[in-house]
Every structure is written in C-alpha cells, then in structure tokens.
Amino acid sequence: MRITALAGGIGGSRFLRGLLRAVPDAEVTVIGNTADDITLHGLHVSPDLDTVMYTLGDGIEESQGWGRSGETFAVAEELAAYGAEAQWFTLGDRDLATHLLRTQMLGAGYPLSAVTEALCDRWRPGVRLLPMTDDRVETHVVVPADGDGDGPAEKAIHFQEWWVRLHAEVPARRIVLVGADQAVPAPGVLDAISAADVILLPPSNPVVSIGPILAVPDVRDAVKAAAAPVVGLSPIIGGSPVRGMADAALKAIGVPTTAAGVAELFADLLDGWLVDTVDADAVQQIEAAGVRCIAVPLWMTDPDAAAAMSRAALDLAEEVRAR
C-alpha cells in the first residue's frame, strides 16, 4: 500500500511513528512543511523536516517532542556570551551538525529535497521524506507594531518569532505564507500524491503546518484531483489544541478551534475526518459538509495509541473508497 501524508512537526511525526507501527510494510511518503524554516546564525534550520527525521529515526528528545536526544548547549552558551541574536531560538550542539551540513549543501547548490535525502541517509526514518517545495516559503505573522494591539500600525514577523519568542500571545492580525503562491512542489511530491492509495492529513497544525503545504498551488490541485481517498485526523480535541497554541493560529484566520471548524477548513479536499470521542456530537455537522466522519480516541499518549489512530484512518479510507 502506498500512503502519502502531509506533515508538520510534533503532531505529524508522532502520528507517522504510529502509522509505521500499524502498517510496517506500507510505502510511506511524507510531504513536510518547510514554511517554518528560518535562518539563524547563518544556518538554514528546517524544524518540521528535522522533527520528522529525528522522531522516525529514533534521535528525538522524547520529553519535548523536538530537538535531539542527549543534547548539550555549549555553542548556544558561547553565542549568548557574545550577545548574538536570536537567543530565543536555542540550537543544541548535536542539532547544529544537521544545520551545518544542510547549509553547506544548499550553499553548494543542492536543492533542499536532495539535502533532506542526504540527511535521511543517516536517520533511515522508514519513510520517503520530501520537503513540500525547494523554493523559499516563509510563514509571516502580521502583528500590531505597538505591541498591545490597538493602533493601526502593524508589522510582519517571522512565524518562529511569534511562536517561540512571543508564545503566540500577541494577537495575530493575519498570517501570510510568503512565497507560497509562486512555489512549485519539490521533485517527487506530485507523483507521491497521484500514485497514492491513501492520502492522510495527520493531526498537525492546520494553519501553519498543513496550511502552507496546501498553499503550494500544484500540491492543493493534486490532492484535490487525486484518485485516492483523503482522510484527516483532528488536531483539535474538545475545543483545545491538545498541545501547542494552534488556537491562536486558527483565530488569526477566523476558524473556530473545534474539530468541525478544521474539518470545514479542509472540506473541499477531505473524504473522511476523524474526531475524538469527546467530539462525537460534531459528527453530524461534519457529515453535512459532505465529509464522512467517525469519532475515535485521538490522544497520542504513546506510539500504540497513534498506531490505533492510523488504523482507524486507514479503515475509514477503505470505507469511503468503496462508496
């Protein structure tokens, strides 16, 4: 079975780990979000690709869900001693090796897709990991220039600054996916979508993880045109984003922080949608939008729970395929 999944960082990779456990023989292609990418200390950092690579390659710091296990921070301490910015985004020593190599290869002219493949040679994530595009796409967040939000003046900051430095506490007026409308899918992306038996949208942030991938015009068109059923899992449980601050991002695009709100955001692409059992009363509303919906437990408490979720998603895909 060929499965193609779109994925952000933590939510995406925890789900994918369960998927590989549930169907170890499946051929899985992951289309990763690169709109979180940022240049820090001259280095190209791809947080979501790395989270997928480290999680599936057994190199993740499990307690936080991102970064390398067994990490040390000597370089970050030295940089801080120089007063080097940005200190709100700490890069561990082990992690830095990844960014050094990536930056070096990009500088030598390799596209991000080739760099990602080279990095995955070491990590053997068990999936084919493709960046959504080799072009530069960056999520920017428009916030009030005066900080507290009432003046008309506004400024755009990098998504990471809003998320990591400001903890998404400053209200976002708009989210702008800079470069997305010009971006073309990375090599292999469109084939992975058209050749898939099933297309999955894991419980990743709908606005800043899945959103940017689908904002690459040809990616969205390919998912829409795909013969395979498209099944997603709600990243919202009982009106809350489980972990992280996805509610702040949803608010910025005017979508309610509910399992149904996210389903409606993707309704034109979805054949099936899984909500958590606490959201069972939303099933009817979602089915009214033309999306087959069932309620199952969606807490990824451990890899087995994530495996059960992926089995439920694949079962739902089979059901909608038969319709």
Looking only at residues 119 through 178 of this chain, which bind ligand GDP when binding is defined by CB under 6 A? none
Closest contact distance (angstroms) between CB of 208 and Ca ion is: 6
CA–CA distance, 28 with 24 (Å, rounded to integer): 9
Count, residues near Ca ion per rule CB under 5 A: 4
298 binds, among ligand GDP, Ca ion, none (CB under 5 to 8 A by kind): ligand GDP
Return the amino acid letter for 102.
Answer: R
Choose which of 29, 46, 51, 98 interacts with ligand GDP (CB under 6 A): 51
Q: How far apart are CA 39 and CA 47, in angstroms?
A: 11
Q: Is 36 a binder of Ca ion (CB under 5 A)?
A: yes
Query: Which option in ligand GDP, Ca ion, none does residue 160 bind, with CB closer than 5 to 8 A by kind?
Result: none
Residue selected from 55, 209, 257, 310 as contacting ligand GDP according to rule CB under 6 A = 209
Residue 246 binding target from Ca ion, ligand GDP, none, CB below 5 to 8 Å by type: ligand GDP
| Binding residues for ligand GDP, total number by CB under 6 A | 25
Identify the residue among 103, 117, 166, 299 touching ligand GDP (CB under 6 A).
299
For position 256 contacting ligand GDP by CB under 6 A, the verdict is no
Residues in 13-32 that interact with ligand GDP by CB under 6 A: none
Contact at 8 Å (CB) between 15 and 202?
yes
Using CB under 6 A, pick the residue from 59, 229, 232, 235 that binds ligand GDP: 235
- Report the partner that residue 133 touches, choosing among Ca ion, ligand GDP, none (CB closer than 5 to 8 A by kind): none
Query: Is residue 8 within the footprint of Ca ion (CB under 5 A)?
Result: yes
Nearer to ligand GDP, 58 or 77 (CB): 58
**Secondary structure, 3-state, the chain:** CEEEEEECCHHHHHHHHHHHHHCCCCEEEEEECCCCCEEECCEEECHHHHHHHHHHCCCECCCCCCCECCCCCHHHHHHHHCCCCCCCCCCCHHHHHHHHHHHHHHHCCCCHHHHHHHHHHHHCCCCEEEECECCCCEEEEEEECCCCCCCCCEEEEEHHHHHHHCCCCCCCCEEEEECHHHCCECCCHHHHHHCCCEEEECCCCHHHHHHHHHHCHHHHHHHHHCCCCEEEECCCECCECCCCCHHHHHHHCCCCCCHHHHHHHCCCCCCEEEECHHHHHHHHHHHHCCCEEEECCCCCCCHHHHHHHHHHHHHHHHHHHHC
Please report whether residue 203 would count as binding ligand GDP according to CB under 6 A.
yes
Between the alpha carbon of residue 254 and those of residues 100, 212, 217, 221, 264, the distances in Å are 38, 16, 21, 23, 12
Amino acid at 315: D
Cβ-based nearer residue to Ca ion, 163 or 266: 163
Site string for Ca ion, 41-80 (x = CB under 5 A): -------x--------------------------------
Q: Does 9 bind Ca ion (CB under 5 A)?
A: yes
244 binds, among ligand GDP, Ca ion, none (CB under 5 to 8 A by kind): ligand GDP
Q: Which does 174 bind (CB under 5 to 8 A by kind): Ca ion, ligand GDP, none?
A: none
Residue 229 lies near ligand GDP (rule: CB under 6 A): no
> Which residues of the chain form contacts with Ca ion (CB under 5 A)?
8-9, 36, 48
> Which residues of the chain form contacts with ligand GDP (CB under 6 A)?
7-12, 48, 51, 203-205, 209, 233-237, 241-244, 246, 298-300
